[in-house]
Amino acid sequence: MGLGMGRLVVLAAALAVTIGLSLVAAAGRSAAMGLCNCCETSLTPSCGKVCAGTTLTPGMCPAIVDYEGTGAAAKGSNPLNGMSLKDLSIGTPTAWQLELFRRFLEKGRRQAVATYKTALRHLRRGKISETELAKAKPLYDEALVNYYHGIRAYLNSVGTKSD
């Protein structure tokens, strides 16, 4: 008793739907990630949970990865801006959380590059002034520096020395 062509098509369609739903679920989970600065006085509820289990060293304010929430970034802003990731603490993530963190960093880097390229294009077309471009450049630089700090922490976590 073999599979008829009709059954084969139905199985292939079911498999495609299952794979598609898995990818959509994974994409949603990567969006639910953020960075927290536990030295801030007003923490978001998600950062409050992450920071509750953290002991801070006086004089140091490391950024901490919030794998379950959205972190402290304002909606629509680049999460790689606003705090230094030089002393980033990524905790002990699962392999999947680590991969989602890498994707989170890549998304922030791509967003910074796209925003800066848009500002350059607007300058060439006369839509913005040099002064407005000068405001975009430090945000671009900060995002790229923080991206490299985040990737360094990621590589150290997976056992590939980056320093």
CA distance 7 to 153: 48
pLDDT of residue 110: 98
Residue 12 lies in a domain: no
User: What is the structure's pLDDT at 29?
Assistant: 45
Residue 6 lies in a domain: no
pLDDT for residue 162: 62
What's the pLDDT score for residue 5?
61
Q: What is the mean pLDDT of each run of 10 residues along the chain (163 residues)?
A: 60 58 45 84 88 82 89 85 92 94 96 97 96 95 97 91 64
Angle at 30 between CA 24 and CA 35, to 5 degrees: 160
Q: Rounded distance, CA 122 to CA 30, Å? A: 31
Question: Above pLDDT 90, what percent of the chain?
Answer: 53
* 95 is a domain residue: yes
Residue 112 burial (10 A CB sphere; 0-12, 13-18, 19+): buried
The upper half-sphere exposure of residue 138, i.e. CA atoms within 13 Å in the direction of its Cβ, equals 6
- Contact (Cβ atoms closer than 8 angstroms) between residue 83 and residue 63: yes
Domain count for the chain:
1
Q: What is the dihedral of CA 61, 63, 65, 68, to 10 degrees?
A: 70
Task: Report the alpha-carbon distance of residue 45 to residue 110 in Å, rounded.
Answer: 27
- Is 145 a member of any domain? yes
Q: Name the residue range of residue 51's domain.
A: 32-158
Residue 36 falls within a domain, yes or no?
yes
For residue 16, being part of any structural domain is answered with no
Q: Does 146 reside within a domain?
A: yes
Asked, for residue 24, whether it belongs to a domain, the answer is: no
The string of pLDDT tens digits covering residues 89-104 is: 999 999 999 999 999 9
